[in-house]
Amino acid sequence: MKVQVCIIGGGPSGLLLSQLLHLQGIDTILLEKYSREHVLSRIRAGVIEHGFAKLMREAQCGERMDREGEIHHGFHIAHDSRLDYVDLHKHSGGNSVIVYGQTELTRDLYEARDKLGGNVVHNAEDVTPHDIASDAPYVTYRVGDKTVRVDCEFVIGADGFHGVSRKSIPTDVLREHEKIYPFGWLGILSRTKPVSPELIYVKHERGFALCSLRSQVLSRYYIQVPLSDKPEDWSDDAFWAELKRRLPEQVAAQLITGPSIEKSIAPLRSFVAEPMRYGRLFLAGDAAHIVPPTGARGLNSAASDIYYLYHALIDHYRKGDDSGLDGYSQKALARVWKAQRFSWWMTMLLHRFPDRLSYDERLQETEMSYLFSSETAQRLVAENYVGLPF
């Protein structure tokens, strides 16, 4: 089989790119290791930058997001028994974010691929890129006993953190930067009315908490827990009690609790792999970088990679102009590192660090009081949270 672009990974990054390229008449195949049901069973953050929302519309996948997603003009930060507000709209020149679950967004992308008759292969085993440093790369995969070879012009590694693509870049070329935080987030999903129409990030002596939502009848809550904890250590009652302890009194009093329909612990990790291109292999999304969820940058950083790659491939096929492909790694990484910086800053601001010095604690308090005493500081947060320009 021969295609122009072979995409490895059927998460949001791979799906969005294959959809955008298909609409421009560029021929793709997408190889996903698992079933569609498996991909759609993952629950992940759902805050969408305005630039990403625009790209979803351009991909003809924005209709349900615009209908069912909620526009948030700001978010709250609870600290020291206060509830402060970051007004994104006011401080970012009228921008906002859309809160729409990543699972739903991925479902919309799959449906859009179906509608166009996109070439999407599920349960593709042993996906392996070959000859990526040459002008004639190819990818092999196996379905049952059958091995299939896909000859292509470009290979896109959009196969997430545990994927095969990044590992096919020689170790003497690839540099990896990683920071692992000494705690995780225990998250639950419950069919209850959210405690607040907009998100509340909580800094508390007992640890971080977050009140988020998927809709007006579906809430998502998180609490910071030690890495040694397991979801089964936490009954629903224990979770709600701990969450209430961390919320300001007036918020805790309004919290509606109910049975959890999902409960899991996510570790917090920052990771960047450089460069994001090797020969004819281009990495995108979680395959190249991970952020802790605190600033809600993960999915959005993936989207900016796809924006750059999409335009670079269009320029290559339409105008024979390779400057976008040649500059991809540098351009994508410049924005990736800014998202890393913001995620790190929000994580440092809001969590309780087990080995903190009293000096660190005082700095954290000063950072918080500075934020809410300075419009300039709030503008910095708003500019990053609604999304830096592509």
For ligand APR, the binding residues (CB under 6 A) are 8-14, 31-34, 39, 44-45, 102, 124, 127, 158-160, 162-164, 285-286, 298-299, 302
Least distance from ligand APR to the Cβ atom of residue 166, Å: 10
Nearer to ligand APR, 40 or 377 (CB): 40
Between 79 and 163, CB nearer to ligand APR: 163
Closest CA to 263 of 43, 111, 85, 47: 43
Contact (CB, 8 A) for 52 and 46: no
Which residues, 6+ apart, have CB-to-CB distance to 110 below 8 Å? 10, 15, 36, 39, 40, 120
Q: Which option in ligand PHB, ligand APR, none does residue 160 bind, with CB closer than 5 to 8 A by kind?
A: ligand APR
Q: Which does 46 bind (CB under 5 to 8 A by kind): ligand PHB, ligand APR, none?
A: ligand PHB
Residue 47 interface partner, choices ligand APR, ligand PHB, none, CB cut-off 5-8 Å depending on type:
ligand PHB
Nearest to 386 by CA among 333, 342, 348: 342
Q: Would you tell me which residues interact with ligand PHB (CB under 6 A)?
A: 45-47, 199, 212, 220, 293-294, 296
Cβ of residue 47: shortest distance to ligand PHB, in angstroms? Answer: 5
Report whether 343 contacts 294 (CB < 8 A). Answer: yes
Q: How far is the CB of 148 from ligand PHB (least distance, A)?
A: 36
Q: Give the C-alpha separation, 99 to 96, whole Å.
A: 10
Q: Which residue is nearest to ligand PHB (CB)?
A: 212
Out of ligand APR, ligand PHB, none, what residue 220 binds, judged by CB under 5 to 8 A for its kind, is ligand PHB
Residue closest to 280 by CA, chosen among 97, 151, 108? 151
384 binds, among ligand PHB, ligand APR, none (CB under 5 to 8 A by kind): none
- Tell me how far, at minimum, the Cβ of 164 lies from ligand PHB, in Å: 27
Give the closest residue to 192 by CA, choosing from 256, 240, 129. Answer: 256
5 binds, among ligand PHB, ligand APR, none (CB under 5 to 8 A by kind): none
C-alpha pair distances (Å), 321 with each of 23, 332, 335: 20, 18, 22
> H-helix or E-strand containing 261?
strand 260-274
DSSP 124: -
d(CA 180, CA 25): 42
Q: Would you say 45 or 155 has its CB closer to ligand PHB?
A: 45
Which among ligand PHB, ligand APR, none contacts residue 364 (Cβ within 5 to 8 A by kind)? none
Which of 6/45 has CB closer to ligand PHB? 45
Which residue's CB is nearer to ligand APR, number 291 or number 381? 291
Of the two residues 48 and 188, which places its CB atom closer to ligand APR in the complex?
48
Query: Which helix H or strand E contains 202, and what residues bound it?
Result: strand 200-202
Quick one: CA dihedral 340, 219, 39, 3, positive or negative? Answer: negative
Give whichever of 45 and 209 is closer to ligand PHB, judged by the CB atom.
45
CB 141, min distance to ligand PHB, A: 32
Residues 210, 222: Cα–Cα separation, whole Å: 5
Q: Which does 12 bind (CB under 5 to 8 A by kind): ligand APR, ligand PHB, none?
A: ligand APR
- Give CA angle at 39 (119, 17), nearest 5°: 45
Name the DSSP letter for residue 352: P
